[in-house]
Amino acid sequence: MIRAVTALDDPQLPLVLLRAALSAVEGQAVVRQALSESPPEGPCHVIALGKAAAAMARGARSVLDGGLARALVVSRQGHLDFTLCSDPRIRCVEADHPVPGPHSLEAGRQLLAFIDSTPADQCLLFLISGGTSSLVEVPVSGVCGERLAALNDWLLGAGLDIAVMNRVRSALSRIKGGRLGQRLAGRRLRALLISDVPGDDPAVIGSGLLAAGTVLAPWPVLPAHLEWVGRCAQQPLLPAEVPRFPLRVVANLERACAAVEAAARDQGLPVFRHREFLEAEAAATGEALARTLLDAEPGVHIWGGETRVTLPPEPGRGGRNQHLALAAARVLAGHDGVRLLAAGTDGSDGNSLDAGALVDGGTVSRGEAVGLDAAASLEKADSGRFLGAAGDLIHTGPTGTNVMDLVIGVVAASRPGRAE
């Protein structure tokens, strides 16, 4: 009997669905829509910060046109473009990510100078996306670039919740935790945000430049080499100490997941939206999701979140999405008709420029065929090297957005060996 081939059998389907998600949350499009609905009045001075800063700035320029007085755009290396930076009104700055460095401190100095030179009666439009915590910093007295780098190296490798990391970062910053908002009291200001945090809280996005948190995250136990942090830390601001500005989230993970669902349904495919937020260890999560798919109904399965990886002393290539994908591939090994995609919506993953990976039942055998070991690669946090050898890495380049991570599972109809 010949089995009918459907879209669920298309090995490219997860990539098609990923592109639909990225399009729905792309910075230029969402900012253009938001400003078209409610354009600013008079000359506007734009500050765009984060991984999606360039795309968001392009969206603002397309609506403001001659009303754009000037702009400061700060993003990570490789995320800016010539067409934006060639505009004489726009100052483009490449800063350090994922660990703040000297360029992040320079970006912080330029941010304050830009604000101070903006006429008090003219509009400030902030466009903020994920990555801002590392890209722009003005540290408190006694904290140098080397200390910031050491602290953030530890924070990123300790498997901590984002709210805990932000509490520490904000304690050492003159702009985070609402402190920049406090400085801007009385100014005409609005902000559009692309959320890369659970709950879309403006006090957490970019470590809360314009808003203070209502809930205080716990202070982590710091290692001995960071004992100086407690001496330099300042008390957090209360929400009442920061002016209330109009802050609007224009793109988030929910919007990206909804776009995947809509794109799948447009092809007539069954869709299963899994609402739990993925936030546990990446390897354990990958294994659990793969087991779910092996028992699942045929169709498209959607998850979102941001898992964690506790890094070894000398990690290899990759990030949490590649780590999750390789762990899933070990469970899927030898099973046909099941594929899993895990990708960062910003187009990068950990210390690599790959967004993530698309794995299937043959991933492990393809990697092992060139002499690599999947279990050892996971132990060394070197998933990217294994997945690259297997031909399963996803490379999108900068996407103009950052709404955390997507996991898309596809279970083919009547896949061989599926338990009925």
pLDDT per residue as tens digits for the range 128-178: 999 999 999 999 999 999 999 999 999 988 888 888 998 999 999 999 999
Q: What is the dihedral sign for C-alpha 191, 181, 71, 20?
A: negative
**What is the pTM for the complete model shown?**
0.92
Q: What is the dihedral sign for C-alpha 332, 334, 336, 341?
A: positive
Domain definitions of the chain by residue range: 7-22+253-411, 26-251
Which pLDDT score is estimated for 418?
52
Mean pLDDT, range 73-100, rounded to an integer: 94
Tell me which H or E stretch contains 59: helix 53-64
Helix boundaries (H) for 355-398: 363-368, 374-379, 383-390
Instruction: Say how many C-beta atoms besides its own lie within 10 A of residue 21's C-beta.
Output: 28
Q: Does domain 7-22+253-411 have CATH number 3.40.50.300?
A: no
pLDDT per residue as tens digits for the range 306-324: 999 988 989 999 999 999 9
Single-letter residue type at 24:
A
pLDDT per residue as tens digits for the range 36-47: 999 998 899 999
Locate 135 and state its tokens.
């890209």
**Region 26-251: CATH code:** 3.40.50.10180
Residue 2: DSSP 8-state: P
pLDDT per residue as tens digits for the range 174-230: 999 999 999 999 999 999 999 999 999 999 999 999 999 888 889 999 999 999 999
Mean pLDDT, range 236-251, rounded to an integer: 96
Cα separation, 287 vs 329, in Å, equals 8
Mean pLDDT, range 242-249, rounded to an integer: 96
Does the structure show a pLDDT above 50 at 83?
yes
Locate 162 and state its tokens.
């984002």
The Cβ-side half-sphere exposure at 73, using a 13 Å CA radius, reads 29
Place of tokens 């067409």: 83
Residues 6+ apart with CB under 8 A from 200: 193, 249, 252
Mean pLDDT, range 342-359, rounded to an integer: 96
Residue 329: what are its φ and ψ, rounded to 5°? -60, -35
Which pLDDT score is estimated for 4?
45
